[in-house]
Amino acid sequence: MMQKGNKAKSKFKETWRRLKKSRTAMIGLCLLIFIILSALTAPLFFDYNTDALEQNILARFQTPNSAFPFGTDEFGRNVLARVVYGARISLVIGLVSCLICCSIGVLLGATAGYFGGFYENVVMRFADILMAIPSILLAIVIVSAFGVNLFNIIIAVGVATIPQYIRITRASVLTVVNQEYIEAARAVGASTPRIIFMHILPNCFAPIMVQATLRVATVIAEAASLSFLGLGVPAPTPEWGAMLAAGRAYMRDYAYLVMFPGLAIMLTILSLNLLGDGLRDALDPKLKK
Amino acid sequence: MDITGLVCDRQQENVMICAEEGREGAAANHLILEIKDLFVDYETDDGVVHAVNGMNMKLGRKQTLGLVGETGAGKTTTALSILRLVPNPPGVIKSGAILLDGQDVFALSEHDMRKLRGSFVSMIFQDPMTSLNPVITVGEQIAEVIREHQKLSKKEADEAALEMLEIVGIARDRFDDYPHQFSGGMKQRVIIAIALACSPKLLIADEPTTALDVTIQAQILEVMKGLKEKYDTSMIMITHDLGIVAEICDLVSVVYAGSVVEHGTLEEVFKHPCHPYTEGLFLSLPNINSRSEMLQPIPGLMPDPTEKYETCPFAPRCHYATEHCRKQLPAKHWFSSTHYAVCAGYDAPEFRLNRRSGQ
Amino acid sequence: MLKYICKRILMLIPVIIGVSFIVFFIVNLAPGDTARMIAGSDADQATVERIRNELGLEDSVFVRYARYLWGGLHGDLGQSYYSDQPVVKIFFQRLPATLLLSFWSVLFSLVISLPLGVLSAVKQYSVFDNCAMVFALLGVSIPTFWLGILGILLFSLKLQFLPSGGNEYWYSFLLPAITNGFQMMALTTRMTRSSMLEVIRQDYITTARAKGIGERIVVLKHALRNALIPVVTTAGNFLIMMIGGAVVTETIFSWPGVGRLIFDSISKRDLNMVVGCVILVTVIVCIINLLVDLVYVIVDPKIKTTYGIRKG
């Protein structure tokens, strides 16, 4: 048992060492940490109600200046404050959605691969069906049916990612499940959940991690798209997609209104993509440059 | 050890061919291939690998040279250098010359080099499973090399390819089949057909039978022997299997750590090996006559190729090594007009190997 | 070969039924009184009841689904709540515009990504390669709707070069097509490059070079044909993502296609329309998947020979 713990720790160290080698991955990581920190420390710099929500008609449409580094919007609100608070919403949606859907997908995939038979068939058919619907349409259907609130959005954008977790997990499980050390574990009477969690899942860890990182990016993009279409978190909550939708009406004269939120989305997705790519290379045993 | 028995059968032939060569080899225009002091490095992120360290080789017409050595000794890199196909990056030809039929390979333009590849010199690679393009038919892969070097129409080239298929023993109606529809042995025949389609003067075979099972190995060797006779091709047979060397080679070069440590005719090297490494190779073969004897492997491993060596690279593993060996690079010592070994032991005139394999 | 196609089509049917089932359920399990929604919030109770009866809305979801499915198999997916026209009719009226847009998007995407990917792989580590990879990475990370907005900002408002919406002019499709296809282009570039790199490393490429064949032919004939095989499969996936993304693009550019139809229907709470459109779009997506798989059969000899298609 001690040995296994040590092996896992050294694998982690090895992965981290390889990850550090990639400059782009490190840039992505730093960028992501910066964004997360901005979101976390937002209340220190901006009070939510006065800066992000409160309307101040007199101060509307100010182009970026020293008082308002990102300018003010059509209601006189501080765009920088709204962008920073918007980060919280996007990151929360991304992380929570990923966590929930990853867990569901991995569990379904692992059990499907392990037990096989009719159950596996059902799960895989279910995954096929879910994958057939374009993800954004599925999200649109769910949100428009169940109403617009944060929880529904989290589920809506996440549901379409579940089949991919199912597939990856099942594929990993299938490569491992017939190997002899699983037989050995069964022979000494290890219980099924124990076998799944301690022996099988650790092998799937790498591809799932990579997939999860990249999926957070797609989920954040999709949540922003939903908001843009008017199906996201309701106003006046600051959310990047919604800010873009609102700013679009005024972009002829006030282009900055659409620049900053868009840039924020792009940088977040970029950082996650860079990190995800770097992870994929670091975890790949073949390590091609 | 029975290999030398095979050698006796070919003795006569060898004597005749080798008599043509003087101590330093015949004049250049009799040599199909000459390699002089070749040094090749691979410059990687993890350090520089010195793959070839002063390789020398001379090969005349109709001769077959066996290039023997362990994995990592630099044999494949040498072969790729002859064709100028060393991947660059990371491979770099540091110094040395390679002359094909008297022409300096490194002085040629890429265009001229391409004209030589496939028509003057061909190569057969190690793994037949991956050496054929999976999406192109087998017939087309043969016809392609014919079309490249001979001014034939598509129809004529296809017909020539069909003939090559027959010659290597594959049915003509398999022209339109894809590589995955062939077994390993047949794939290798296709590769031989491609290599010999334009009647090259020099064929380099890089462990052509290693990836095949033993019965197929024998077949492929037969095919190669027959073709060698038919086309008068000189051949370099890269292998670590001494049995194959005995079957098909006239000359032998034993390679260690990127350079030749012993060279001679087949009979000379097999009957009177002079380098401790060669002796070790023969000793590590199992003796079918004496089954209770323990195998005698050569202890240790080849030196780290990322380090350039200033003294004899084999000394750490050598049964005969002395302080003298660890002081400088060993010199070449000749034992006949065709047989030499690079060993510092022979600086002392009485030095002889004494653990020779039983004959 | 025909057998293969038939088998694939048969496999599609359960998937489509499954999709219709899921979408129908999601929409109909939603809270809210559908009958009232159709009637309007200011209609009186009698009208609401009448509508409820007419549309059979008091039956259980399963019964309603069965009815829906039955209708669907006969080409009837109900009426739009908003305009009282058959869903299917409106959908197919708007489909050509979306197909046109998709076609141009795919063309743009492939014409740029394939050469870019191949060149990047061949010139690995060069300045060109690095620039192309940065470009592709940005393309993957930029949200489509922001790209559209930036495009309008630059080309329509600042440069006055291209229209910002509608499809009045023959060149109206340019900006929407590029926006729509941008992400697919970036992804395909990366995929092509990594596939080419993988292939160029293979032994059979060295064999080809050892034959004395020119590098250009080695790359185009020997390497590319192998490299494209995985690209075909993934291109299919990207294509599906792009079709989904058409909702956003068509909304931004007021392009009169199915995507915009879906968006408008959502705004008007025309749920029947939304459900019908999503199902039909999924059907189209499945057909595209099938076509991509058929391309795969043609391109990969291992599959070709399994299904008994022999050359000449």
Contacting residues for A284 by C-beta, under 8 A, at least 6 apart: A206
For residues B207 and B217, what is the distance between their CA atoms, to the nearest angstrom? 11
Contacting residues for A161 by C-beta, under 8 A, at least 6 apart: A97, A98, A101, A102, A105, A135, A215, A218, A219
C212, C229, C311 ranked by CB distance to B114: nearest = C212
CB atoms A147 and C31 under 8 Å:
yes
β partners of residue A202 = none
Which is nearest to A130 in space by CA: C275, C8, C19, C282? Answer: C19
pLDDT tens string B142-168: 999 999 998 888 899 999 999 989 888
Is the per-residue pLDDT at B306 higher than 60?
yes
Chain C 171-230, CB below 8 Å of chain A: which residues? 197-198
Chain C closest CA to B219's CA: distance in Å? 22
Q: What is the pLDDT of residue C243?
A: 83
Q: What is the pTM of this model?
A: 0.82
Query: Could you say which residues of chain C have pLDDT below 50?
Result: 309-312
Is the per-residue pLDDT at A222 higher than 60?
yes
For residues A201 and A108, what is the distance between their CA atoms, to the nearest angstrom? 12
Is the per-residue pLDDT at B6 higher than 50?
no
Is C140 an 8 Å CB contact of chain A? yes
SS3 B198: coil
pLDDT tens string C263-288: 888 877 777 888 888 888 888 888 88
Find the mean pLDDT for residues B39-47.
86
For residues A267 and B168, what is the distance between their CA atoms, to the nearest angstrom? 61
For residues B16 and B63, what is the distance between their CA atoms, to the nearest angstrom? 11
Q: Is the ipTM reported for this complex over the cut 0.95?
A: no
Structure tokens given for C124: 């690995």
Which residue in A129, A155, A161, A259 has the most chain C C-beta atoms within 10 A of its own C-beta, making it the best mutation to test that interface? A129
Find the mean pLDDT for residues B16-21.
41
Q: What is the pLDDT of residue A271?
A: 93
Q: What is the pLDDT of residue A219?
A: 92
Query: Which percentage of chain A shows pLDDT scores above 90?
Result: 19
CA distances from B308 to B97, B153, B315, C201 (A): 20, 52, 14, 28
C225 interaction partners in chain B (CB closer than 8 Å): 135-136
Chain B 74-93, CB below 8 Å of chain C: which residues? 83, 85
Is the per-residue pLDDT at A194 higher than 80?
no
Residue B259 is inside which H or E element, if any? strand B259-265
Is C133 an 8 Å CB contact of chain A? no
User: β-strand B234-239 against B64-68: which pairing, if any?
Assistant: parallel
Higher-pLDDT residue of A184, A224:
A224
Which residue in C149, C200, C234, C238 has the most chain A C-beta atoms within 10 A of its own C-beta, making it the best mutation to test that interface? C149
Find the mean pLDDT for residues A227-236.
83
> Where in B61-143 does DSSP place strands (E)?
64-68, 91-100, 103-104, 121-124
Q: What is the pLDDT of residue A285?
A: 61
Query: Which percentage of chain B shows pLDDT scores above 90?
Result: 29
pLDDT confidence bin for B1, thresholds 50/70/90? very low
Which is nearest to A218 in space by CA: C237, B147, C220, B312? Answer: C237
Is C222 an 8 Å CB contact of chain B? yes
Find the mean pLDDT for residues A86-113.
90
Structure tokens given for C33: 């009184």
C210, C302, C310 ranked by CB distance to B83: nearest = C210
Higher-pLDDT residue of A33, A6:
A33
Nearest residue of C to residue A223, measured between CA atoms: C143
Is the per-residue pLDDT at B20 higher than 50?
no
SS3 B43: strand
Find the mean pLDDT for residues A164-183.
80
For residues C159 and A142, what is the distance between their CA atoms, to the nearest angstrom? 39
Which is nearest to C148 in space by CA: C240, C72, C249? Answer: C249
Contacting residues for B284 by C-beta, under 8 A, at least 6 apart: B295, B296, B297, B298
pLDDT tens string B119-139: 899 999 888 889 999 999 999
Nearest residue of A to residue C164, measured between CA atoms: A252
Domains of chain C: 9-73 (no CATH), 91-269 (1.10.3720.10)
DSSP state letters, A150-207: HHHHHHHHHHTTHHHHHHHHHHHHHHHHTSHHHHHHHHTT--HHHIIIIIIHHHHHHH
pLDDT confidence bin for A7, thresholds 50/70/90? low
Q: What are phi and psi of A113, to 5 degrees?
A: -65, -35
Sign for the CA dihedral angle at B14, B16, B17, B20 comes to positive
Is the per-residue pLDDT at B327 higher than 50?
yes
To the nearest whole number, what is the mean pLDDT of chain B? 83
CB atoms C213 and B148 under 8 Å:
yes
User: β-strand B47-60 against B332-334: which pairing, if any?
Assistant: unpaired
Which residue in C207, C216, C300, C311 has the most chain B C-beta atoms within 10 A of its own C-beta, making it the best mutation to test that interface? C207
pLDDT confidence bin for B231, thresholds 50/70/90? confident
CB atoms B133 and C226 under 8 Å:
yes
Is C146 an 8 Å CB contact of chain A? yes
Which amino acid appears at position A264 of this protein? Answer: A
For residues A234 and A227, what is the distance between their CA atoms, to the nearest angstrom? 8
For residues A29 and A35, what is the distance between their CA atoms, to the nearest angstrom? 10
Is the per-residue pLDDT at A198 higher than 50?
yes
Residue A38 is inside which H or E element, if any? helix A23-45
Residue pair A157/A143 in contact by the 8 Å Cβ criterion: no
Is the per-residue pLDDT at B324 higher than 70?
yes
Q: What is the pLDDT of residue A60?
A: 76
Which residue in B133, B137, B196, B236 has the most chain C C-beta atoms within 10 A of its own C-beta, making it the best mutation to test that interface? B133
Q: What is the pLDDT of residue B4?
A: 45
For residues B26 and A261, what is the distance between their CA atoms, to the nearest angstrom? 79
CB atoms C210 and B115 under 8 Å:
no
Is the per-residue pLDDT at A2 higher than 70?
no
A135 interaction partners in chain C (CB closer than 8 Å): 241, 244
Q: What is the pLDDT of residue C310?
A: 44
Higher-pLDDT residue of A238, C38:
A238
